Amino acid sequence: MRKSLLLRLIAALMAFALIGAACGGSGDETTETTGAGSDTSTTDDVSDTGTATEPQPVDAEVASLQQTLTHGMTEHEYLAGIAVAMAVMNPDQPELFEAAAAALDENSVDLSKAIGSIYGDQAAAQFLKLWRKHIGFFVQYTQAGGEGAEAQAAKKGLDEYRADFGAFIEGATEGALPKAAVQDALKPHVDSTFTAIDAVLGKSKANPFEELYTAAGHLPGIATALTGGIAQSQGIEGDPMAPSAQLQQTLTAGFNGHEYLAGAAVAMAVMHPDQPELFEAAAAALDKNSVDLSKAVASVYGEAGGEQFLKLWRKHIGFFVAYTQAGGEGPKAAAAKKGLDEYRSDFGAFIEGATEGELPKEAVEDALKPHVESTLTAIDGVLGKAEGNPFILLKKAASHLPGVATALATAIVNQMPDKFI
């Protein structure tokens, strides 16, 4: 990997909140930075794996690694947020926090396996120990209500964690990502997570789910920088900041936000029927995510394409809401299922037309089927109609979406390669 690329990656780590805005957070900040269709994305240096006339493929090793880390890290934030919500909003039902915490720990293990696949079992174990430790400090802060000596001790512990994790990353990447840079980059992640927890605790009037979405928006930038450091230390050719890789990352993070915010909205509707404001808050964050995804589409296909996407996307969310409100049973639930089948067909036709046949309607329909079915199963889990941990069922539903992001990104890159070199 070129020295100039390494310098860019370190710069990305130091300013990752700006990069992360392309994948989540405030919807007002994504118009110019979302996706690979923006001017800044398309003028980056070409990847070492490509040529002046060939875009880097989205299945390049470096892009796949970035996607794995993006999916895992954004998932971490959402599951942590859901666990906090379960603890604070359902204090008399500790089993709900325990179920969410179990899904969160499964995510931690998944991330450690990704590290282990590169650096071996010892590094995976070291990563997992550090990662679990930092989650524990957030739990401690939540249990303390964000106030007092215990909360301050949790904050101090997270400062120490940033230093320890920075040292781990510096060692693993053989200095490609310095300890100090990692420490600095993790600070917005830690601070924004505290802000989201404070909103759940009622210490601010902010929408807790929008704060969670903002916090998750920082993680893609960290994934980009970590990918670059790993690639540098392991001799993996390619550029995680290549327009094609950034497009795939934007879609991956955006789809993750969709699944987890939808799951949070369902949980609020079912668990707190007498507090409709909780569902409305989660639904507002979910709609902000939908708007951000539509901006990613518009950055490639123009405003009309973005508007058409948004209309279809909101419609399919409405069917999930209708299914939930019907309790997953009866004619209204059946009508919602039928509507989702029709949505898959309509969305497939939209994608086929937008990509000029690069991604056929039938392929889109087939790719969306596991997403729809697994999301309905996750809803059934919250409704008590399906066996198993509802948050692990939600995690399984989210696991289908990186494949959808890859398929869509591949079709777009193949359709308009000049935009991605």
pLDDT digits (tens, 9 = 90+) for 212-246: 999 999 999 999 999 999 999 999 989 999 999 99
The span from the CA of 71 to the CA of 405, in Å, is 11
Q: Is 15 helix (H, G, I), strand (E, B) or coil?
A: coil
Q: What pLDDT does residue 128 have?
A: 98
The span from the CA of 112 to the CA of 305, in Å, is 39
Phi and psi at 368, nearest 5°, equal -80, -15
pLDDT digits (tens, 9 = 90+) for 315-354: 999 999 999 999 999 999 999 999 999 999 999 999 999 9
Q: What pLDDT does residue 41 have?
A: 35
The span from the CA of 212 to the CA of 81, in Å, is 6
Identity of the amino acid at 86:
M
Give residue for tokens 């329909």.
Answer: 365
Helix axes 208-216 and 179-201, enclosed angle (nearest 10): 170
More confident position, 365 or 53:
365
Q: Which two tokens stand for residue 89?
A: 């909003």
88 exposure class (CB count in 10 Å sphere: 0-12, 13-18, 19+): middle
Rg (C-alpha) for the chain, rounded Å, is: 21
pLDDT digits (tens, 9 = 90+) for 247-264: 999 999 999 999 999 999
The span from the CA of 257 to the CA of 20, in Å, is 13
Residue 50 pLDDT grade (very low, low, confident, very high; cuts 50, 70, 90): very low
Give residue for tokens 């079992």.
Answer: 121
Residue 54 β-bridge partners: 51
- Given a contact cutoff of 8 angstroms between Cβ atoms, the answer to whether 26 and 214 are in contact is yes
The span from the CA of 16 to the CA of 218, in Å, is 7
Region 263-277: mean pLDDT is 97
The span from the CA of 225 to the CA of 14, in Å, is 9
Q: What pLDDT does residue 53 have?
A: 66
Tell me: pLDDT of 20 over 70: no
Q: What pLDDT does residue 421 have?
A: 80
Q: What pLDDT does residue 86 have?
A: 98
Q: Is 299 helix (H, G, I), strand (E, B) or coil?
A: helix
The span from the CA of 35 to the CA of 12, in Å, is 16
Q: What pLDDT does residue 360 have?
A: 97
Phi and psi at 51, nearest 5°, equal -130, -175
Q: What pLDDT does residue 17 have?
A: 35
- Given a contact cutoff of 8 angstroms between Cβ atoms, the answer to whether 319 and 343 are in contact is yes
Q: Which two tokens stand for residue 420?
A: 């991605």
DSSP classification of residue 50: S
Q: What pLDDT does residue 366 have?
A: 96
pLDDT digits (tens, 9 = 90+) for 198-215: 999 999 999 999 999 999
The span from the CA of 316 to the CA of 337, in Å, is 10
All residues at 6 or more sequence positions from 379 whose CB lies less than 8 Å from its CB, including other chains: 266, 320, 323, 324, 328
Tell me: pLDDT of 31 over 80: no
